[in-house]
């Protein structure tokens, strides 16, 4: 009985070390800045991307809200009042730039920080996003650790936490 317990404890110890190493490789514990408790709205029409990003943000103890297009994103922003919005550009129904325009016309949402997460990296798209005062512009594919730093910095600048 004692031998089994020792083996189990050893297994748990080795398994925990392995998980910590894997998490460190993924950059899950790299940022020391606070992102926990942040309400983050992800607006993107790619379900696999949204699911992956949602999982990683929840790992960081963020509350995640999702929307599949700009219209749904605007509705959720109005009802949920997120601390930060991660916004794609090309989406059906309403694109990211249209959502930004509507968002900036909402008195209680006009100062909500937005980070653009998009595959489009053309100068006129970046300029259009900048004209709406986005906090940052990140092109896909991106490094998750760098994105988390940008999120943490944006929330810190908003005086979150």
pLDDT exceeds 90 at position 72: yes
More confident call, 111 vs 161 = 111
Global confidence as pTM: 0.76
pLDDT tens-digit map of 100-110: 999 999 999 99
Q: What number is the average pLDDT over the span 109-127? A: 85
Q: What number is the average pLDDT over the span 103-125? A: 88
What's the CATH number for 31-157?
A: 3.40.50.2300
Distance CA 140, CA 154 (A): 19
pLDDT of residue 32: 46
φ/ψ of residue 133, rounded to 5: 70, 40
| Extents of the domains making up the chain | 1-30, 31-157
Q: How confident is the model at residue 126 (pLDDT cuts 50, 70, 90)?
A: confident
Distance CA 60, CA 34 (A): 9
């Amino acid at each position: 009985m004692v031998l089994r317990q020792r083996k189990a404890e050893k297994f748990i110890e080795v398994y925990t070390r392995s998980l910590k190493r894997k998490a460190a490789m993924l950059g899950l514990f790299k940022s020391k800045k606070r992102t926990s408790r942040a309400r983050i709205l992800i607006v993107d029409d790619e379900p696999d991307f949204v699911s992956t990003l949602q999982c990683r943000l929840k790992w960081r103890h963020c509350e995640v809200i999702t929307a599949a297009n700009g219209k749904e994103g605007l509705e959720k922003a109005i009802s949920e009042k997120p601390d930060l919005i991660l916004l794609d550009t090309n989406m059906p129904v309403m694109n990211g730039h249209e959502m930004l325009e509507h968002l900036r016309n909402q008195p209680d949402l006009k100062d909500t920080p937005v980070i653009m997460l998009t595959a489009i990296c053309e100068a006129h798209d970046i300029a259009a996003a900048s004209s709406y005062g986005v906090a940052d512009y990140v092109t896909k594919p991106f490094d998750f650790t760098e994105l988390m730093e940008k999120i943490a910095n944006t929330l810190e600048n908003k005086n979150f936490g």
